């Protein structure tokens, strides 16, 4: 892998340096690389500026988070990855193809995982992201850059889904009319979000907004969970986002987000552990009203994600990175299958009466 010429020059212009670049391929948004310059190791990222339109705002958020989690009260075993300036003292560098790059420290001897091994690990995961929110809630957020406005706004996502169906830019709606109908039938879920956004008992607080096990660095030797990564979407949000994403990602027994529906199975024991872990870790920091709705977090997030994938399919795969045809459709179908199984389980346990 070679870097764009201008970036390569910038990184090596202080004499002969030995540069190795290796892609890291697990995200759907940015392009990420591990960079070795002599014996030092960094994380280099080309920011997707179609989605994150203000790279510097993003990095300023990251710098504030880094500082905040250096304190004695840091709930994690180690500090966050440190954002770094390039050798020319710039935090963002634009290459000759107008792509924006940033760099941070690379935390060595770590790996990530995407599946938990037991209910007690699921509970630990819930506690991990709850402690992120509890600690981040002490941050000054007046000047916080909102990286993606209304990111987990279900009303907005539903509107975008309806637009995508109506426009049908790539003439694909015929391939998925059943799935479209199933998702439209679930419109009553939007009312839950609407009620929340107009109600003082549902305060905004700092959420990670991509809370999954694969966004935690794990120490190679001790297997200890060290710190969260992928901090781009940290911003104020509602209670359901992080628990919902954990449920969506952990309770899905299929290996990948695009695995076929027959491989999806909802893992109820993990669901219960996430729910009780999150509820107890957040303790009095969440309101009674929020507590009551905690069990619906997974439904809201999985529904949202199914619509986001299907909208992108209908729009011609313009948002998520894809490497084959129908990948977004398969992702949407996988999420919808998980959603229906979750609904069955919640109905059977008396926590979801009807579709609202
Ligand atoms: C995107 O690329 P990744 O995995 O960090 C997306 C999340 C979705 C996820 C689905 C900024 O995150 O919201 O849950 O894909 N991030 C953005 O796999 O849209
Ligand atoms: Mg992410």
Q: What's the start-to-end Cα distance of the chain, in Å?
A: 50
Instruction: State the pLDDT at residue 17.
Output: 73
Q: Same domain, yes or no, for 134 and 90? A: no
Is residue 214 pLDDT above 80, yes or no? yes
- What does the pLDDT average to over 115-124? 97
Residue 356 pLDDT level (bands cut at 50, 70, 90)? very low
Structural domain includes residue 164 = yes
| Ligand approaching nearest to the C-alpha of 151 | 1
Q: Same domain, yes or no, for 149 and 196? A: yes
Please tell me if the CB atom of residue 242 comes closer than 6 angstroms to any atom of ligand 1.
no
List pLDDT tens digits, range 272-320: 999 999 999 999 999 999 999 999 999 999 999 999 999 999 999 999 9
Q: Same domain, yes or no, for 67 and 32? A: yes
Which atom belonging to ligand 1 lies closest to the Cα atom of 26?
A: 4
| Ligand approaching nearest to the C-alpha of 321 | 1
Q: Is the pTM of this model over 0.85?
A: yes
End-of-domain residue from the set 54, 76, 107: 107
64: domain CATH number is 3.30.200.20
> Which residue range is the domain that position 24 belongs to?
5-107
Q: Same domain, yes or no, for 337 and 192? A: yes
List pLDDT tens digits, range 53-94: 999 999 999 999 999 999 999 999 999 999 999 988 999 999
End-of-domain residue from the set 107, 127, 144: 107
Q: Same domain, yes or no, for 89 and 142? A: no
| Ligand approaching nearest to the C-alpha of 148 | 1
Q: Same domain, yes or no, for 200 and 337? A: yes
* Percentage of the chain modeled with pLDDT above 70: 98
Instruction: State the pLDDT at residue 354.
Output: 58
Q: Same domain, yes or no, for 77 and 146? A: no
Instruction: State the pLDDT at residue 332.
Output: 98
Please tell me if the CB atom of residue 343 comes closer than 6 angstroms to any atom of ligand 1.
no
List pLDDT tens digits, range 64-73: 999 999 999 9
End-of-domain residue from the set 80, 107, 134: 107
Residues 6 or more apart whose CB falls under 8 angstroms from that of 129 comprise 208, 211, 228, 242, 243, 246, 278
Is residue 127 pLDDT above 90, yes or no? yes
Mean pLDDT for the chain overall: 94
Q: Same domain, yes or no, for 95 and 244? A: no
Please tell me if the CB atom of residue 43 comes closer than 6 angstroms to any atom of ligand 1.
no
191: domain CATH number is 3.90.1200.10
Q: How many folded domains does the chain comprise? A: 2
Which atom belonging to ligand 1 lies closest to the Cα atom of 319?
A: 19
Q: Same domain, yes or no, for 22 and 152? A: no
**Contact call for residues 200 and 307 (beta carbons, < 8 A):** no
Structural domain includes residue 113 = no
Please tell me the distance between residue 108's alpha carbon and the centre of ligand 1 in angstroms. Answer: 24
Residues 6 or more apart whose CB falls under 8 angstroms from that of 39 comprise none
Structural domain includes residue 295 = yes
Structural domain includes residue 114 = no
List pLDDT tens digits, range 103-119: 999 999 999 999 999 99
């Amino acid at each position: 892998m070679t870097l764009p010429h201008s970036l390569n020059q910038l990184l090596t212009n202080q004499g002969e340096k030995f540069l190795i670049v290796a892609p890291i391929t697990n995200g759907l948004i940015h392009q990420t690389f591990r960079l070795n310059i002599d014996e030092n190791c960094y994380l280099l990222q080309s920011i997707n500026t179609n989605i994150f339109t203000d790279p510097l705002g993003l990095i300023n958020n990251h710098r504030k988070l880094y500082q905040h989690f250096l304190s004695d009260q840091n709930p994690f075993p180690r500090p966050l990855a440190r954002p770094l300036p390039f050798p020319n003292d710039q935090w963002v560098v634009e290459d000759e193809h107008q792509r924006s790059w940033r760099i941070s420290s690379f935390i060595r001897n770590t790996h990530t995982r995407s599946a938990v091994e037991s209910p007690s690990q699921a509970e630990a995961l819930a506690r991990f992201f709850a402690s992120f929110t509890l600690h981040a809630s002490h941050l000054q957020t007046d000047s916080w850059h909102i990286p993606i406005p209304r990111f987990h706004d279900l009303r907005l996502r539903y509107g975008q889904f309806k637009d995508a169906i109506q426009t049908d830019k790539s003439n694909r709606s015929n391939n998925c009319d059943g799935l479209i109908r199933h998702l439209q039938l679930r419109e009553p879920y939007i009312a839950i979000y609407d009620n929340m956004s107009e109600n003082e008992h549902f305060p905004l607080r700092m959420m990670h907004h991509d809370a999954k096990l694969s966004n935690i660095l794990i120490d190679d030797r001790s297997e200890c969970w060290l710190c969260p990564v992928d901090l781009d979407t940290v911003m104020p949000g509602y209670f359901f986002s992080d628990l919902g994403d954990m449920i969506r990602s952990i309770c899905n027994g299929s290996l990948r987000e695009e695995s076929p529906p027959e491989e999806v199975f909802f893992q109820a024991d993990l669901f219960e552990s996430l729910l009780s872990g999150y509820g107890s870790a957040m303790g009095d920091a969440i309101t009674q009203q929020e507590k009551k709705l905690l069990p619906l977090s997974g439904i809201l997030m999985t529904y949202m994600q199914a619509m986001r994938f299907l909208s992108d399919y209908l729009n011609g795969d313009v948002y998520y990175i894809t490497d084959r045809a129908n990948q977004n459709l398969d992702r949407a179908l996988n999420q919808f299958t998980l959603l229906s199984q979750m609904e069955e389980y919640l109905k059977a346990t008396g926590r979801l009466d009807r579709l609202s």
